[in-house]
Amino acid sequence: MADSPNRTAADPNEEIMRATYRALQEHGYADLTIKRIAEEYGKSTAAIHYHYDTKDDLLAAFLDYILDQFQNTVHEVETTDPEQRLDLLLDKLLVDAQDHLDLLVAMLEMRSQAPYKEAFRERFQQNDEYVRYMLSTVIDQGIQDGVFNDVDAEHAARALMTIVDGGRTRAVVFNEEASLATARQTAEEYVTAVLAVDQSGDG
Amino acid sequence: MADSPNRTAADPNEEIMRATYRALQEHGYADLTIKRIAEEYGKSTAAIHYHYDTKDDLLAAFLDYILDQFQNTVHEVETTDPEQRLDLLLDKLLVDAQDHLDLLVAMLEMRSQAPYKEAFRERFQQNDEYVRYMLSTVIDQGIQDGVFNDVDAEHAARALMTIVDGGRTRAVVFNEEASLATARQTAEEYVTAVLAVDQSGDG
DNA sequence: GCCTTTTGACTAACTGGTTAGTAAGTACTG
DNA sequence: CAGTACTTACTAACCAGTTAGTCAAAAGGC
CB-CB under 8 Å, B121 with A175: yes
What is this model's ipTM? 0.91
The pLDDT value recorded for residue A10 is 67
> In angstroms, rounded to a whole number, what is the distance separating the alpha carbons of residues B33 and B56?
11
The neighbour count for residue A146, using CB atoms within 10 Å, is: 10
Q: Is residue B202 part of a domain?
A: no
CB-CB under 8 Å, B162 with A167: yes
pLDDT digits (tens, 9 = 90+) for A73-109: 999 998 989 999 999 999 999 999 999 999 999 999 9
The answer to which of A2-11, A190-199, B6-15, B131-140 has the lowest mean pLDDT is A2-11
Based on the domain organization, do B101 and B26 belong to the same domain?
no
Question: Could you give the percent of chain A with pLDDT greater than 90?
Answer: 88
pLDDT at A190 over 90: yes
Question: Where residue A4 sits, what CATH number does that domain have?
Answer: 1.10.10.60
Q: With CA atoms as reference, report the closest residue to A70 among A88, A105, A96, A32.
A: A96
Based on the domain organization, do A20 and A93 belong to the same domain?
no
Compute the nearest-CA separation of A46 from chain B (Å).
25
Q: Please tell me chain A's helix, strand, coil percentages from 3-state DSSP, rounded to the nearest 5.
A: 75, 0, 25
CA of A60 to C1' of C18 (A): 22
> In angstroms, rounded to a whole number, what is the distance separating the alpha carbons of residues B92 and A73?
38
Based on the domain organization, do A41 and A66 belong to the same domain?
no
Q: Is residue A176 part of a domain?
A: yes
All residue ranges of chain B with pLDDT < 70 are 1-10, 200-203
The pLDDT value recorded for residue A199 is 74
Q: With CA atoms as reference, report the closest residue to A128 among A102, A98, A164.
A: A164
Q: Do residues B142 and B195 lie in contact, with contact meaning Cβ atoms separated by under 8 Å?
A: yes
Q: Which residues of B110-143 are buried (b: 16+ CB within 10 A; e: fewer)?
A: bbbbbbebebbbebbeebbeebbebbbebbbbbb
Based on the domain organization, do B21 and B104 belong to the same domain?
no
Based on the domain organization, do A27 and A112 belong to the same domain?
no
The pLDDT value recorded for residue B198 is 84
Nearest to A170 among B108, B162, B186 (CB): B162
Q: Do residues A106 and A24 lie in contact, with contact meaning Cβ atoms separated by under 8 Å?
A: yes
Based on the domain organization, do B184 and B137 belong to the same domain?
yes
Q: Structural domain tally of chain B?
A: 2
Task: Choose from B112, B120, B130, B170 for mutation: most chain A CBs within 10 A.
Answer: B112
The pLDDT value recorded for residue A183 is 98
pLDDT at A56 over 90: yes
Based on the domain organization, do A84 and A1 belong to the same domain?
no
> In angstroms, rounded to a whole number, what is the distance separating the alpha carbons of residues B127 and A168?
18
Based on the domain organization, do B22 and B114 belong to the same domain?
no
CA of B131 to C1' of C1 (A): 53
Q: With CA atoms as reference, report the closest residue to B30 among A180, A13, A59, A67.
A: A59
Structural domain containing residue A10: 1-52
The pLDDT value recorded for residue A6 is 33
Compute the nearest-CA separation of B42 from chain A (Å).
26
* Strand blocks (E) in chain B: none
Q: Is residue A139 part of a domain?
A: yes
Based on the domain organization, do B30 and B67 belong to the same domain?
no
Based on the domain organization, do B36 and B74 belong to the same domain?
no
pLDDT at A5 over 80: no
User: Which residues have a Cβ under 8 Å from the Cβ of A35 and sit 6 or more positions away?
Assistant: A45
Based on the domain organization, do A39 and A122 belong to the same domain?
no
Compute the nearest-CA separation of A53 from chain B (Å).
22
Q: Is residue A91 part of a domain?
A: yes
Q: Is residue A96 part of a domain?
A: yes
Q: Is residue B145 part of a domain?
A: yes
Based on the domain organization, do B185 and B119 belong to the same domain?
yes
Does residue B198 come out as left (phi exceeding 0), alpha (psi in the -120 to 50 range) or beta? beta
Protein CB footprint (7 Å) on chain C nucleotides = 5-9, 14-20
The pLDDT value recorded for residue B89 is 97
Q: Is residue B203 part of a domain?
A: no
CA of A10 to C1' of D4 (A): 29
Q: Is residue A203 part of a domain?
A: no
The pLDDT value recorded for residue A155 is 98
Residue B175: phi and psi, rounded to 5, are: 50, 50
| A161 interface with B at CB cutoff 8 Å | yes
Question: Where residue B153 sits, what CATH number does that domain have?
Answer: 1.10.357.10
